Amino acid sequence: MSFVYFVLNRIALVIPTLLGVTLISFMLTNLLPGNPAVVKAGALATPEYLATVERQMGLDQPLYVQYARFVSGLLHGDLGESASTGRPVLEDFLQRLPATLELTLASLLIACLLGIPLGILSAVHRDKFVDHVGRVIGVVGVAMPSFWTGLLLIFVMFYALEIAPAPLGRLAPNIAAPTAITGMYVVDSALTGNWTALKSASAQLFLPSLTLAFSIMAPLARMVRASMLEILQSDYIKAAWAAGLPSRTIIYGDALRNAMIPIITTLGTVFGFLMAGNAVVESVFAWPGIGNYALAALMTKDSGPIQSFVLFVAISYVFVNLAVDLAYGLADPRIRIG
Amino acid sequence: MTALLETEALTVHFATSDGPVEAVDGADLTVRTGEVFGLVGESGSGKSVTAMAIMRLIQPPGRIVKGSIRFAGIDLATLSEKAMRDVRGSRIALVPQSPRTSLNPVMSVGKQISRVISVHGGLGWRASGARAIELLAMVGVPDPAHRAKQYAHQLSGGTCQRVMIAMALATSPQLLIADEPTTGLDVSIASRIIELLRDLGKRTGAAIILITHDLGTVAQSCDRFAVMHAGQIVESGDTRCLFRAPAHPYTHALLRSIPRVDADVVLQPIAGSVPALLHPPAGCRYQRRCELAMPVCCEKPRRTSVSVSHDVACFAAEKKYAAAS
Amino acid sequence: MTLTSAPDLATPPVRRPFRQGMARLRRDPVSLGALIIILAMVLAAVFAPWAAPYDPNATDISVALEASSWAHLLGTDVYGRDQLSRIIYAARIDLLIPAAATAIALIIGCAIGAVAGYRGGWLDHIVMRCVEAVMAFPALVLAMGLAAALGSGLGNLVIVIAVTQVPTYLRLIRGEMLRVRDMEYAEAARTVGNGDGRIIFVHLLPNCIPPIIVQATLSLGYGLLTMATLSFLGLGVRPPDSEWGEMTAEGASQIVTGEWWLFVFPGLAIIFTVLAFNLVGDALRDLLDPRMRGVK
């Protein structure tokens, strides 16, 4: 199997999944009990006006026509409009996306910095103290709902110890947002040398990203440990010990290099956890990202943002996994050089 | 010829929740400088564990319970782990059982050889890379410079084993342990690998411990060999002596189970199977399968010399030879 | 000319799951503790009127927002309701809904998975494409979308949680089916003229029970977590019904005034219960499914 074939094959496999994803999220919206036309036209609208609005929104068409329109709209970057604000959902979304991205990336970074070494140490010192600590963190971490972790952190760090700022958004209220480059405040303020904004943005980001990181650290460490253990038992590691190589070379050179392949795959799965956890953490910390936006919309039965959120998460999950598959192919010579 | 390696009462146990599995029980072995020494036995008889114990590579829950391993004047059993690492790969090298899986799949084979050279020989990466290609040529890999850049999955099983041999020879070891080096290889390639090992041993002066369950290989290529049964060495000595006049009933039975083309002999399978090593019978572990078993076999038989280069651990044999002499 | 004789390192002991399980429990205090937590939770839920010291809905403003005391072990909320009693009563919903969801997911997932795995071919292909599409959604996001679409209500909540779990059972049983369908006893059942349905559900499915039991135990925990999270977000159980996630959300507003017990204790109830299900699930896996041993 040549590498080009491998890449094309993976890309082709994504298409049916994407179709399924759009179909499911379309179905979800049409299951919604509220009539979006009522929300848009207002509760006091006459039946005639309501019918006009329904016609304008295409709600009188058969479902498959609505689905076809929905998909062709997607291809043109049209996510519909929010029934309550009347603004295109895509616009609202793009405005809030950097906040979500900032939170996601920060927590992924923290989780990797803590989880991967923990997994490695647990595997190398199997059944020793580190491994027991790792196992306890893993077992408890999986059982802890992230909203509770977040609340606990707020209580301890903000209320009791007063080291963290108030859990309300991305910046302290008296500080202006840095010049927009990426939209991620920490990055932008660092790039523009806006140190006051950087300090405030980092402080605000710390607790939510720690909360989110904690929710994925446990599964990450667990998977790293499992793949390291499997590799440490393999014949080529035994051969490396027999060749008298130093243990550092064996663990970090041989074992970790091979473990990177399953670890990369794991990161794809972990990304799914992150996207789901995002909404929860954003709501706990009043973080103005897309998850929070979608939840606010859910409360008013506004279908546009929900549909877009679910769809956006699923599509980005599909593409992240595609990227992971391709990275996997690059990291593994058995695939790279077939 | 002087003894290069001498193990005495080497005992390895694996801890399980039901008690220790006595994988190697008091193994005495002598390997001389430059010879090819065979270690023969059924699967599960403890041959590989013995070899791993010599290299001090027994992983928990396994443990060397007692015994000494004297190698070129030092006792490996009491050596520090750090000093042991300098012995492994440089003075004692291993040719493993499954060459393909013993190569790191994400590192080119040349790199894998050259880093062993640079770790033990202190050579820079350029010099050790060149040396790796020389070694590949020496073990008969065609187009070595090209092969060195390739990965294990691109090579045939036979070539992988040649790579492993090149890696083992990288630092001119005094002892090469080849653990069933031909498992999974075609018969024709297997015999060429054995030939290569024997030839390289003679050229470099390294002694070779050849672990195998194939008596044919032993007859062809070993100077001396030892027979293991259920963790015990039952007989050892000069290959010709042992084939001509096996003293232990188990060796005898093994030789009878070899199919022969030249003589019209009925094959006789060995009765019973290797006993469990969890709670093995006291004394000789062959007693329950043995035709010559006596009440005294419940005690552990001592190693006795049958001739100059021929030892056996069996009461029946002891009695027979005592009567004869 | 090789020697072949069966290696016989250690004869495996005769397997008696129940006795083995009891013996294991004696050696394994963690699993024993987990089992005790689950039993205690179930008993508290069933006998809530006797177990709870107060009426969970009785308000008494004079004792509002009191911290832990001998009268109110876990403190009281804004209305002076006894939190321990509320947590005990909430256990009914917290155990019942994940259990119902698990049962539904298990039945649907196993039925479809068994048929798809056994039949194979185009049917299997279509089913698996659908499963992939569903699994392209992170479970919680799918649950959020579905919960929003279906609206509130305990019945809908059961459906939402069940839907997120169906793919797991489906894939599990399909895999098991692929493994057992060509085994000799399946062949034998076919030769004597059994129908497909009979072969699948009478002859093959019983062989897949151990992994199903393990998965069911684990999904009780996951189901509880999903439900608590949805309720926390206002998408699941809503007042006047009460549930630990919903109680945590109520308590969250008291953080800034320092009444920590209102969010901490319901959360601890969630953690201990999920933890207990996970630990028991892991222990069951070790016991019932030797192939999975050491994988965790």
Task: Report the 10 Å Cβ neighbour count for B42.
Answer: 22
Mutate to test the interface with B, among C5, C20, C293 (most CBs of B within 10 A): C5
Residue A149 contacts B, CB cutoff 8 Å: no
Contact criterion met (CB < 8 Å) for B213 and C7: no
Q: What are the tens digits of pLDDT across the range B164-222?
A: 999 998 888 899 999 888 877 788 888 888 888 888 888 888 999 999 888 888 888 89
Which of C145, C150, C255 lies closest to A154 in CB terms?
A: C255
- Chain C hits for B18, CB-CB cut-off 8 Å, are 10
Judged against a pLDDT cut of 50, whether residue A207 lies above it is answered with yes
- Chain A hits for C138, CB-CB cut-off 8 Å, are 272-273, 275-276, 313-314, 317
Q: Is A94-336 CATH 1.10.3720.10?
A: yes
Residue A241 contacts B, CB cutoff 8 Å: yes
A50-74: burial string, b at 16+ Cβ within 10 Å, e else: beebbeebeeeeeeeebbeebeeeb
Residue A14 contacts C, CB cutoff 8 Å: no
Q: What are the tens digits of pLDDT across the range C200-248?
A: 888 888 888 888 999 999 999 999 999 999 999 888 888 878 899 999 9
Beta-carbon contacts of A28 under 8 Å, excluding residues fewer than 6 positions away, are: A306, A307, A310, C145, C146, C148, C149
Residue A319 contacts B, CB cutoff 8 Å: no
Q: Please give the domain boundaries of chain C with CATH numbers for all domains.
A: 82-292 (1.10.3720.10)
Closest CA to C221 of C270, C264, C267: C270
Closest CA to B276 of B12, B8, B20, B11: B20
Residue C30 contacts A, CB cutoff 8 Å: no
Distances (CA, A) of A24 to A29, A296, A303: 9, 22, 14
Those chains having 3 or more beta-carbon pairs within 8 angstroms of chain B are: A, C
Query: Would you say C10 and B278 are in contact if contact means Cβ atoms under 8 Å apart?
Result: yes
Judged against a pLDDT cut of 50, whether residue C294 lies above it is answered with no
Those chains having 3 or more beta-carbon pairs within 8 angstroms of chain C are: A, B
Judged against a pLDDT cut of 50, whether residue C4 lies above it is answered with no
pTM: 0.81
Q: What are the tens digits of pLDDT across the range B220-273?
A: 889 999 999 888 888 898 888 888 888 888 888 888 877 766 666 666 777 777
3-state secondary structure B111-172: HHHHHHHHHHHCCCHHHHHHHHHHHHHHCCCCCHHHHCCCCHHHCCHHHHHHHHHHHHHCCC
C281 Cα distance to chain centroid: 9
Query: Would you say B76 and B174 are in contact if contact means Cβ atoms under 8 Å apart?
Result: no
Judged against a pLDDT cut of 70, whether residue C1 lies above it is answered with no
Give residue C80's pLDDT.
Answer: 79
- Which residue(s) pair with B227 in the sheet? B40, B235
Phi-psi region for residue B11, left (φ > 0), alpha (ψ -120 to 50) or beta? beta
Query: Would you say B180 and B212 are in contact if contact means Cβ atoms under 8 Å apart?
Result: yes
Query: Would you say B148 and B109 are in contact if contact means Cβ atoms under 8 Å apart?
Result: yes
- Give the span between the Cα atoms of C113 and C118, in whole angstroms: 8
3-state secondary structure chain A: CCHHHHHHHHHHHHHHHHHHHHHHHHHHHHHCCCCHHHHHHCCCCCHHHHHHHHHHHCCCCCHHHHHHHHHHHHHCCCCCECCCCCCEHHHHHHHHHHHHHHHHHHHHHHHHHHHHHHHHHHHHCCCCHHHHHHHHHHHHHHHCCHHHHHHHHHHHHHHHCCCCCCCCCCCCCCCCCCCCCCCCHHHHHHHHCCHHHHHHHHHHHHHHHHHHHHHHHHHHHHHHHHHHHHHHCCHHHHHHHHCCCCHHHHHHHHHHHHHHHHHHHHHHHHHHHHHHHHHHHHHHCCCCCHHHHHHHHHHCCCHHHHHHHHHHHHHHHHHHHHHHHHHHHHHCHHHHCC
Query: Would you say A197 and A171 are in contact if contact means Cβ atoms under 8 Å apart?
Result: yes
Contact criterion met (CB < 8 Å) for B115 and A246: no
Query: Would you say B287 and B249 are in contact if contact means Cβ atoms under 8 Å apart?
Result: no
**Chain C stretch 3-62, residues whose beta carbon is closer than 8 A to a beta carbon of chain B:** 3-11
Residue corresponding to tokens 């992924």: A108
Give residue A60's pLDDT.
Answer: 74
Q: What is the mean pLDDT of residues A39-58?
A: 75
Identity of the amino acid at C286: D
Q: What is the mean pLDDT of residues A133-162?
A: 91
Residue corresponding to tokens 């998977």: A223
Q: What are the tens digits of pLDDT across the range C175-184?
A: 888 888 888 8
Give residue C13's pLDDT.
Answer: 44
- Give the span between the Cα atoms of A242 and A235, in whole angstroms: 10
- Give the span between the Cα atoms of A23 and A25, in whole angstroms: 6
Selected residue with higher pLDDT from A13 and A301 = A13
Judged against a pLDDT cut of 90, whether residue C5 lies above it is answered with no
φ/ψ of C98, rounded to 5, equals -60, -35
Q: What percent of chain C has pLDDT over 70?
A: 92
Q: What confidence category does residue B1 fall into, taking pLDDT thresholds of 50, 70 and 90? A: low
- Chain B hits for C2, CB-CB cut-off 8 Å, are 213-214
Query: Would you say B280 and B22 are in contact if contact means Cβ atoms under 8 Å apart?
Result: yes
- Give the span between the Cα atoms of B136 and A146, in whole angstroms: 56
Choose from A169-183, B273-287, C32-46 the range with maximum mean pLDDT. Answer: C32-46
Residue C41 contacts A, CB cutoff 8 Å: no
Between helices A195-232 and A256-284, what is the axis angle to 10°? 140
Identity of the amino acid at A126: R
Give residue A31's pLDDT.
Answer: 63
- Chain B hits for A234, CB-CB cut-off 8 Å, are 101
Of 3.30.70.270, 3.40.50.300, 2.40.50.140, 3.40.50.150, which CATH number belongs to B3-91+173-324? 3.40.50.300
Of B94-108, B114-128, C5-19, minimum mean pLDDT range: C5-19
Least Cα separation, residue C244 to chain A (angstroms): 11
**Chain C stretch 82-111, residues whose beta carbon is closer than 8 A to a beta carbon of chain A:** none
Q: What is the mean pLDDT of residues A29-51?
A: 70
Q: Which helix (H) or strand (E) holds B188?
A: helix B187-204
Q: Which residue of B lies nearest to C1 if distances are taken between CA atoms?
A: B258
Residue A333 contacts B, CB cutoff 8 Å: yes
- Chain C hits for A298, CB-CB cut-off 8 Å, are 144, 148, 234-235
String of DSSP letters for B10-28: EEEEEEETTEEEEEEEEEE
Q: So where are chain A's domains?
A: 94-336
Of A266-280, A302-316, C147-161, minimum mean pLDDT range: A302-316
Q: What is the mean pLDDT of residues B123-129?
A: 86
- Give the span between the Cα atoms of B40 and C235, in whole angstroms: 70
Q: Which residue of B lies nearest to C6 if distances are taken between CA atoms?
A: B273
Q: What are the tens digits of pLDDT across the range C84-110?
A: 999 999 999 999 999 999 999 999 999
Judged against a pLDDT cut of 50, whether residue C19 lies above it is answered with yes
Q: What confidence category does residue C3 fall into, taking pLDDT thresholds of 50, 70 and 90? A: very low
Q: What is the mean pLDDT of residues A223-249?
A: 89
Which of B57, B106, B116 lies closest to A332 in CB terms?
A: B106
Judged against a pLDDT cut of 80, whether residue B158 lies above it is answered with yes
Residue A226 contacts C, CB cutoff 8 Å: yes
How many Cβ pairs closer than 8 A exist between chain A and C?
144
Q: What percent of chain A has pLDDT over 90?
A: 23
Q: What is the mean pLDDT of residues A191-196?
A: 88
Least Cα separation, residue C176 to chain A (angstroms): 22
Residue C264 contacts A, CB cutoff 8 Å: yes
Q: What confidence category does residue B150 fall into, taking pLDDT thresholds of 50, 70 and 90? A: very high
- Chain A hits for C264, CB-CB cut-off 8 Å, are 152, 155
Judged against a pLDDT cut of 70, whether residue A1 lies above it is answered with no
Contact criterion met (CB < 8 Å) for B101 and A236: yes
- Give the span between the Cα atoms of C295 and A338, in whole angstroms: 29
- Give the span between the Cα atoms of A91 and A86, in whole angstroms: 11
Judged against a pLDDT cut of 90, whether residue C43 lies above it is answered with yes
Distances (CA, A) of A203 to B270, C124, C215: 76, 51, 41
3-state class (DSSP) for residue B37: strand
- Give the span between the Cα atoms of C113 and B207, in whole angstroms: 59
Instruction: Provide the mean pLDDT of chain A.
Output: 85
Cα-based torsion angle of the residue sequence A316, A321, A323, A329 in order, rounded to the nearest 10 degrees = -170
Give residue C248's pLDDT.
Answer: 93
- Chain C hits for B215, CB-CB cut-off 8 Å, are 1, 3
Beta-carbon contacts of C122 under 8 Å, excluding residues fewer than 6 positions away, are: none
Which of A20, A143, A275 lies closest to C271 in CB terms?
A: A143
How many Cβ pairs closer than 8 A exist between chain A and B?
76
Judged against a pLDDT cut of 90, whether residue B316 lies above it is answered with no
Residue corresponding to tokens 């904004």: A197
- Give the span between the Cα atoms of A78 and A69, in whole angstroms: 10
Give residue A107's pLDDT.
Answer: 94
Instruction: Provide the mean pLDDT of chain B.
Output: 86
3-state secondary structure chain C: CECCCCCCCCCCCCCCHHHHHHHHHHHCHHHHHHHHHHHHHHHHHHCHHHHCCCCCCCCCHHHCCCCCCCCCCCCECCCCCEHHHHHHHHHHHHHHHHHHHHHHHHHHHHHHHHHHHHHCHHHHHHHHHHHHHHHCCCHHHHHHHHHHHHCCCHHHHHHHHHHHHHHHHHHHHHHHHHHHCCCHHHHHHHHCCCCHHHHHHHHHHHHHHHHHHHHHHHHHHHHHHHHHHHHHCCCCCCCCCCCHHHHHHHHHCCHHHCCCHHHHHHHHHHHHHHHHHHHHHHHHHHHHCHHHCCCC
- Chain A hits for C272, CB-CB cut-off 8 Å, are 143
Residue C239 contacts A, CB cutoff 8 Å: no
Strand arrangement, sheet containing B3-16 = B19-32, B3-16, B62-71, B74-75
Give residue B204's pLDDT.
Answer: 87
**Chain A stretch 261-300, residues whose beta carbon is closer than 8 A to a beta carbon of chain C:** 272-273, 275-277, 279-280, 283-284, 294-295, 298-299
Of A25-34, A41-50, B64-73, minimum mean pLDDT range: A25-34
Give residue A32's pLDDT.
Answer: 61
Pair of tokens at residue C163: 């839907």
Beta-carbon contacts of A259 under 8 Å, excluding residues fewer than 6 positions away, are: A120, A224, A227, A228, A231
Length of chain C in terms of residues written: 296
Strand B310-312, strand B304-307: pairing: antiparallel
Give residue A36's pLDDT.
Answer: 64
Contact criterion met (CB < 8 Å) for C10 and B18: yes
Contact criterion met (CB < 8 Å) for A241 and B88: yes
DSSP state of B318: H
Contact criterion met (CB < 8 Å) for A334 and B153: yes
Pair of tokens at residue C133: 């599409």
Q: Which residue of B lies nearest to A239 if distances are taken between CA atoms?
A: B102
Between helices C261-288 and A146-153, what is the axis angle to 10°? 140
Query: Would you say B311 and B235 are in contact if contact means Cβ atoms under 8 Å apart?
Result: yes
Residue C1 contacts B, CB cutoff 8 Å: yes
Residue corresponding to tokens 């999974």: B184
Q: What confidence category does residue C2 fall into, taking pLDDT thresholds of 50, 70 and 90? A: very low
Give residue A208's pLDDT.
Answer: 95
